[in-house]
Structure 1
């Protein structure tokens, strides 16, 4: 990898880390590591009020980290980027190895994210607003 590629990669990684820099956004992403969930389930699982949950989901969508789909009046969210699942897994192993927010809940093997979730998330570049100019 040449220096220009390393610079671009470091800028994209820094933008991703900036998106992850809020505890509620991290909670939402940890909860979504198992797969798609409706907003109501996320709010219940994480004990986050409607307004802050909407704000965090809006930021995660704008940053291209989650995708939403609507079925009637219910909105479902899922992680949109494969590399994000790897970052979440590493953070969970480092900071909450025995947490119920581990993918699969408390009874699951420590830190494992199912391959199906990784396979279903697409790897793609960051949205333009998160990219810095080289």
Structure 2
């Protein structure tokens, strides 16, 4: 997909659409800009995990993990599922996976 070209003759509707998309993208980038949230997404790429599993994987307290999951849920990046007292999370769609692949390409050393 090609990036849009801004020009003086762009329509008001197109400019409004671009502004709305910029807001959505900005919110997405803010949501993933925290190391803890980014690590949660990395763990969820391999499949659904309980909050307890995420606590263990991240070596973090339940309150910290829940706070980060709340932000990810607010942005629509993860989806919760309750089973008894346990709450499980999974990626809501493919956006986080695509983003993580791009981040990996940009920032991870080749082995």
TM-score category of the 2 structures, normalised to the smaller one: 0.7 to 0.9
User: Which whole-Å CA distance do the structure 1 matches of 2:43 and 2:54 have between them?
Assistant: 7
- The structure number with the bigger radius of gyration is 2
Q: Which has the higher helix share?
A: 2
Q: Which residue in 1 is equivalent to 2:63?
A: 51
Alignment partner, residue 61 of structure 1 = 73
Query: Alpha-carbon deviation of 1:52?
Result: 0.6
Structure 1 segments of 4+ aligned residues over 6 angstroms from their partners: none
Q: 1:71 to 1:97 in 2, by over 3 A?
A: farther
Q: Secondary structure at the match of 1:8?
A: helix
Residue number among 9, 27, 30 corresponding to 1:18 in the alignment: 30
The higher relative CO (CA closer than 8 Å, separation ≥ 6) is in: 1
Structure 2: gaps spanning 5 or more residues: 5-13
CA distance in structure 2 between the aligned counterparts of 1:87 and 1:47, rounded to whole angstroms? 24
TM-score (norm 1): 0.65
